[in-house]
């Protein structure tokens, strides 16, 4: 049976702090099996017979909004897609000490025009790489110290709805749940 990861946006921020056990239960209510959560930041693994990620996103979003009382943007990736995210050589192996690589999960691939404009937002500190429905961000300093997301260029860009994860967390999720990436 196909296995998926739902990357939920905005869970455990502000007043949106459902226990992970509640998220697990809500996913089980949808008929998903082998449901597991990974760290308290909105990562839910599950299995289902469905092969349509878009329909899964819609079903999960509707159920979470009805159950929790607020919308939760959901970004579905199959096990193979998670492995591809981890294997993609966005910046080679260069991650300077104190820096990190993040991945933004999008609903749809970024247009080539928007990807080109995003490259115009790169700085000495921040670099972007677009691959399909993922936007990788290399931040050479602590992410909280980067000003790229509040820069005038980024504000006019109209970055699409996304949810971001540190690549270290995605690697740990994959390792814990048997999604080894073969180099």
Say if residue 102 is in the same domain as residue 30.
Answer: no
Say if residue 87 is in the same domain as residue 64.
Answer: no
Say if residue 106 is in the same domain as residue 59.
Answer: no
50-106 pLDDT per residue, tens? 999 999 999 999 999 999 999 999 999 999 999 999 999 999 877 778 899 999 999
Q: What pLDDT is recorded for position 182?
A: 56
- CATH number, domain at 122? 3.30.70
* Helix or strand holding residue 6 (H, E): strand 3-8
Write down which residue in 78, 93, 126 finishes a domain: 78
Strand residues in 25-174 grouped as ranges (E): 33-38, 43-47, 74-78, 100-106, 126-131, 134-139, 162-166
Write down which residue in 25, 53, 78 finishes a domain: 78
- How confident is the model over 107-112, as a mean pLDDT? 97
Say if residue 59 is in the same domain as residue 113.
Answer: no
Could you please report the per-residue DSSP string of 139-179? Answer: ESS-GGG--GGGSHHHHHH-PPSEEEEEHHHHHHHHHHTT-
9-19 pLDDT per residue, tens? 988 888 888 99
Say if residue 69 is in the same domain as residue 108.
Answer: no
Say if residue 92 is in the same domain as residue 71.
Answer: no
Q: Confirm if 161 and 72 have CB atoms less than 8 A apart.
A: no
The pLDDT of residue 181 is above 70:
no
Write down which residue in 78, 98, 125 finishes a domain: 78
* 183 assigned to some structural domain: no
Q: Confirm if 5 and 53 have CB atoms less than 8 A apart.
A: no
Which residue range is the domain that position 69 belongs to?
3-78
Work out how many domains the chain is built from and give that number: 2
pTM of the model: 0.94
């Amino acid at each position: 049976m196909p296995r998926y990861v739902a990357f939920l946006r905005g869970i455990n921020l502000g007043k949106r702090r459902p226990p992970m056990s509640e998220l697990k239960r809500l996913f089980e209510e949808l008929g998903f099996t082998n449901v597991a959560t990974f760290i308290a930041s909105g990562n839910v693994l599950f299995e289902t017979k469905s092969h349509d990620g878009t329909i899964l996103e819609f079903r999960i979003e509707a159920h979470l909004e009805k159950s929790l009382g607020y919308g939760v943007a959901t970004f579905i990736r199959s096990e193979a897609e998670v492995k591809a995210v981890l294997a993609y050589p966005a910046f080679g192996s260069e991650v300077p000490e104190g820096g990190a690589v993040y991945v933004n999960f999008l609903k749809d691939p970024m247009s080539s025009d928007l990807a080109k404009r995003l490259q115009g937002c790169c700085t000495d500190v921040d670099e972007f790489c677009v691959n399909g429905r993922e936007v990788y961000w290399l931040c050479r300093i602590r992410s909280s110290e980067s000003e790229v997301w509040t820069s005038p260029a980024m504000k006019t860009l109209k970055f699409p709805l996304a949810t971001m994860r540190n690549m270290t967390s995605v690697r740990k999720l994959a390792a814990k749940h048997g999604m080894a990436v073969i180099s």
